[in-house]
Amino acid sequence: MRCDIISVPDLDADSIEQWRQNQLQNPDLCSPFFSVGYAQAVAKHRSDVKVAVIEYSEQTKSFFAFHKLSRARGAPLGGQISDYQGIVGPTGAPIHTPSFLKSVGLASYDFNHALQTQPTFAQNAYWQSDSPRIDLRDGYENWYKGRAQETSALKTVARKKRKLIRELGELRFLAHDPDPDAWDIFLEWKRAALAEQNARFILDTPWLMDVAKTIRDTKTTDFAGMFSTLYAGDRLIAAHFGMRSHAALHWWMPSYDASLNRYSPGLVHLALCAEDADARGLSEVDLGRGTQRYKREFSNASRQLCEGSLERPLSIPGSARGIRKLTQKGLNRFGSNRSAELGKRAMTRALSQGRV
């Protein structure tokens, strides 16, 4: 195995095409987070983005994009906004971690949304989770019928949709809304909703806002930003900022007019986004990691993820992460679910894992 480190702008046409083909050939890599367009959007605003080009033979290359931080620490591409991590290439035997990290100049690499199907990450994980999905391979109508048999949620959403039309006016869905006023209202709603939870809006970090705007304005066949909106009459009632690849829409940052909560405008919008995704020939809407009720009710599939770290054990960052792994595995085995979760959060904060 040979590994070269380059910057994203230095990817040549052949490498970009190989990256695209790797993604097209592996359904587990269908998320837009694995698209070369996402790497290009982040790298436009961060000089610390690197790509490991892993060569198994002259015909086979894999790609691994990451942030190279101080003290030889590696972080997921996009930091806190990254909902997927992994190597864009064939799924196979695990890479020898210390040798790989040494070749890319890292002492450690933290991951929190890595694919469990990739042994390199699964074997170095201390936590498992999943990302619920709306599988549209059999079409929107079949998905809808299947979920309607399992839960009354979609029938409730359909009833509220009719009420919206009756009381506020005809609905108008825009798959991508270029109106800057709509974008500003979306941001205002999102900030207000998070403030109620004493949480900070991640896009208020300037470089992440720049990345989001670059993604929003990108429109290619294999990668595009999707700022969709829903109007009742002339009134904006819901908005969502996400992105799509050749096959998947990622449900990323939804928001809605909180004064209309009784109509569930966000869920009405999600159902319309799923219908639009099917019409565009996409095979899934990825709802992102989480246990929210609506994700359980809308999803009919999931993708398994894991959280952990790759480390060189004799380095200072690597030693700290090795100790963290042993501690977390102990909590997972002998502690309560709550103590294990609280311990995970505390140690993640202490080590600033995944932060850029």
User: What order of strands is seen across the sheet that includes strand 108-115?
Assistant: 2-6, 49-57, 60-68, 73-76, 108-115, 301-311, 125-135, 284-286, 248-256, 235-244, 224-232, 171-174
Q: Give the residue-averaged pLDDT of 128-140.
A: 97
* Lowest pLDDT segment from 88-92, 172-176, 270-274, 351-355: 351-355
Residue 117's H or E segment, with its range, is none
- The pLDDT score that the predictor gives to residue 215 is 98
Question: What is the pTM for the complete model shown?
Answer: 0.94
**What are the phi and psi torsion angles at 253 (to 5°)?**
-135, 85
Residue 292 above 70 pLDDT? yes
Model confidence pLDDT, tens digit, residues 68-86:
999 899 999 999 999 999 9
Residue 346 above 70 pLDDT? yes
Domain boundaries, the chain: 2-132+303-351, 145-282
- The pLDDT score that the predictor gives to residue 354 is 65
Q: Between 209 and 335, where is the model more confident?
A: 209
Residue 95 above 90 pLDDT? no
- The pLDDT score that the predictor gives to residue 351 is 84
Residue 59 above 80 pLDDT? no
CATH class of the domain whose range is 145-282: alpha beta
Q: Give the residue-averaged pLDDT of 319-338.
A: 88
Cα-based distances in Å from 299 to 69, 232, 256: 36, 26, 21
DSSP string, 240-296: EEEEE-SSEEEEEEEEE-GGGGGG-HHHHHHHHHHHHHHHTT--EEE--S---HHHH
